[in-house]
Amino acid sequence: MFLRSNHRIKDGKDHTYWSLVETVRTPDGPRQRTLCYLGELNGSAQARWLKTIEVFNEQGEAEQLKLFPSHIEPPEDDPQVARVLLNQVRLERTRQFGACYLGLELWKRLELDHFFEEAIDKAPADVPWSRIAALLTINRLCAPGSELAVEQRWYPSTALDDLLGIEEGKINDTRLYRCLDQILPHKTKLEGHLKERYGSLFGAEFDVLLYDLTSTYVEGAAEDNPMMRRGYSRDHRPDCEQMVIALIVNSEGFPFSYETFDGNRADVSTVETILRMVERKYGKARRIWIFDRGIVSEENLAAIRKRGGQYLVGTPRRQMKRFEAELVKEDWTRVRPEVEVKKVAIPQGEETYILCRTAGRREKEKAIRERFCSRMEEALKRLEKTMATGRLKNRNLMERRLGKIQARHPSVNDLYEISLRETGAGVRLSWHMREDRRRWHESREGAYLLRTNLQAETPEELWSKYMQLTEAEASFRALKSELSIRPLFHQKERRVKAHVMVAFLGYALWVTLKHLLQRRPALIPKPAAADVGNTQPLTPMQALALLSKLHSGDIVLPTTDGREIRLRRVTEPTAEQKSLLDLLGSSLPDRLSFNRQCSVDSAVA
């Protein structure tokens, strides 16, 4: 086969069109037959067509062959002809390619390849440690699993051996575990490197910091890990020992830093440690801290003020009692159809309080109150009936039954005035709802209180800034769902910390992909299953799922002279996949490394 050029004059310009032609034998002699028309080709496209039939001999020298079907007689005087057995052409060694390739592109976009080459590749190893670190991180992004699962199931099914240039048989769980030990000491430098890259790529700023905590539990006793303790479990696994993870992100969700604590560490006790850690790493600065009410204490706020910082935090609900009069007033400012706010200044104080009220939250809390009131009243009626029929006569038992009912409904117990009174017919139970308490509950439903030492901003701006805390919550959702940081299977403390570091790296790739997808979402149509015309940006997981359908494989072309021509190729992307790659500023490679196992491959132009 060969390329033939055809010239045509159109609009006064000479256009060159190409076609793929093969030589065939006929009774009248050799003839040339057009297989397909390729249209206009630029120089690189033409070169790729030519190099798809570049063959390497045993000495590694390249030569060109022309491919012919086995039932066609090639020209006898042409030594560069290979006759292909069409009925024996096959596809081998299919591998997952697209998602892994995207993960590696994000790894390089953050320049983590250079960072780890300088940090951990000085030690001699069969496989550079930086490539193992890339493998672990890409796995955490694409298909999170244990080191054993990576070795036995995931890695052999991917094209990472071609993409990372790792020889066959070099990946095992021992090498993966040892890589965890290699990367852990570079945590501080890694955080600084990522902060710089986020600034370069997206102009990210870190003057507003969102702070939140979560927990993750371990499977097993973890006797060699003193960090693992039983504490408040956000994973609803109080039966397991756990550790606490503190994460700091900016208002756009870019991670600033993280820290690990013992599993029984109270949230409120972590702030002083985090403030010292941030100052040690990044110096003193006038930062704005945002965190929820579970982390608030007077000591923590005083520590921030002492460092010249500012804060915007949630407050416990009990403090709203101070603003009962403000809650019933109608001077609220509507910032959204369902959200109202008002600023409440404290006389002779440096702080400002922001009252917020949400319609949806109000309806939810009202429904909860009515449900618990209904349950408590039903329980009281049952107790009253039991007493009236004479089945319960002992006053002490009556009081104990009443105490149990009140204990089961603590959120609405203060709404009722309940008494046991003596009558001629015996002890009778009576109750009624306290109207003052009911009005107070109704006024605070859907309301919450913010506290800040920021003075110049309006209530609307302060509320919007506090709502950025959802970025920290989204970070934890990504870590726990898409990146599967839980549960932990490592038993040693350093391995657990390294596992969290790999999850942190996986989140770095995830949040980078998220912001790349948000740049120009209109370029990316939703997959076919979604509504037509929907131009919302894809989520990172949707993008990975779309590209995961791209595979690589070896096309094997047996020839009549006993040779096999092996072409390692990537499947042709669909229109959606091409649009996604264009948006991300990426393109599929022209060749895959085959370590001379393939006899034919397309060369880089």
pLDDT higher than threshold 80 for residue 427:
yes
For β-strands 208-217 and 288-291, DSSP reports them as: parallel
Other beta carbons within 10 Å of 62: 12
**Average pLDDT estimate for 62-71:** 53
**Average pLDDT estimate for 294-309:** 91
pLDDT of residue 255: 93
Sign for the CA dihedral angle at 390, 393, 397, 403 comes to positive
The structure tokens 């029984």 sit at: 264
Residue 467 contacts by C-beta under 8 Å, 6 or more apart in sequence? none
pLDDT of residue 285: 82
Higher pLDDT, 279 or 221: 279
Residue 37 pairs in a beta bridge with 19
What is the chain's mean pLDDT, rounded? 85
Residue 37 falls in which region: left (phi positive, over 0), alpha (psi -120 to 50) or beta: beta
SS3 category, 339: strand
pLDDT, one tens digit per residue, over 526-550 is 444 444 345 678 899 999 999 999 9
Other beta carbons within 10 Å of 1: 16
pLDDT, one tens digit per residue, over 110-121 is 999 999 999 999
pLDDT of residue 483: 87
pLDDT of residue 563: 82
Confidence of residue 37 (pLDDT cuts 50, 70, 90): low
What distance lies between CA 550 and its chain's CA centroid? 21
Sign for the CA dihedral angle at 452, 281, 510, 231 comes to negative
CATH number (3.40.50.2000, 3.30.420.10, 3.40.50.10490, 3.10.580.10) of 205-329+455-490 reads 3.30.420.10
pLDDT of residue 258: 94
Closest CA to 420 of 367, 472, 383, 461: 383
The fraction of the chain above a pLDDT of 70, given in percent, is 85
Rounded to whole angstroms, the Cα distance separating 594 from 202 reads 36
Let me know: does 490 contact 497? Beta carbons within 8 Å. Answer: no
Confidence of residue 48 (pLDDT cuts 50, 70, 90): very low
Domain boundaries along the sequence of the chain: 205-329+455-490, 361-444
The pair of structure tokens assigned to 360 is: 């949806």
DSSP symbol at 471 = H
**Average pLDDT estimate for 52-80:** 53
The structure tokens 């409904």 sit at: 409
Closest CA to 171 of 134, 203, 143: 134
Other beta carbons within 10 Å of 555: 16
The pair of structure tokens assigned to 287 is: 């930062």
User: Cα–Cα distances in Å, from 561 out to 82, 91, 360, 555?
Assistant: 8, 20, 76, 18
pLDDT, one tens digit per residue, over 142-192 is 999 999 999 999 999 999 999 999 988 899 999 999 999 999 999 999 999
pLDDT higher than threshold 70 for residue 107:
yes
pLDDT of residue 302: 92
pLDDT of residue 72: 53
**Average pLDDT estimate for 491-510:** 93
Phi, psi of 23 (to 5 degrees): -95, 130
Q: What is the residue-wise DSSP string for 137-164?
A: HHHHHHS---HHHIIIIIGGGBSHHHHH
**Average pLDDT estimate for 460-472:** 90
Let me know: does 104 contact 163? Beta carbons within 8 Å. Answer: yes
Residues in the chain: 605
pLDDT of residue 68: 53
Closest CA to 312 of 157, 171, 463, 166: 463
Other beta carbons within 10 Å of 139: 24
Rounded to whole angstroms, the Cα distance separating 45 from 52 reads 11
Which of 26-40, 120-134, 264-278 shows the lowest mean pLDDT across its residues? 26-40
Rounded to whole angstroms, the Cα distance separating 6 from 23 reads 17
pLDDT of residue 214: 92
**Cβ density class 166-198: b for 16+ within 10 Å, e for less:** beeeebeeebbeebbebbbebbeebbebbbebb
Residue 216 pairs in a beta bridge with 243
The structure tokens 């009515």 sit at: 370
**Average pLDDT estimate for 497-520:** 92
Closest CA to 39 of 69, 64, 75, 3: 3
Which of 204-213, 316-325, 428-437, 445-454 shows the lowest mean pLDDT across its residues? 316-325
Angle subtended by helix axes 459-467 and 469-480, to nearest 10: 10
pLDDT of residue 595: 47
pTM score above 0.85: no
pLDDT of residue 593: 59
pLDDT higher than threshold 80 for residue 322:
yes
pLDDT of residue 33: 74
pLDDT of residue 41: 64
pLDDT higher than threshold 50 for residue 603:
no
pLDDT, one tens digit per residue, over 547-569 is 999 999 988 888 887 888 888 88
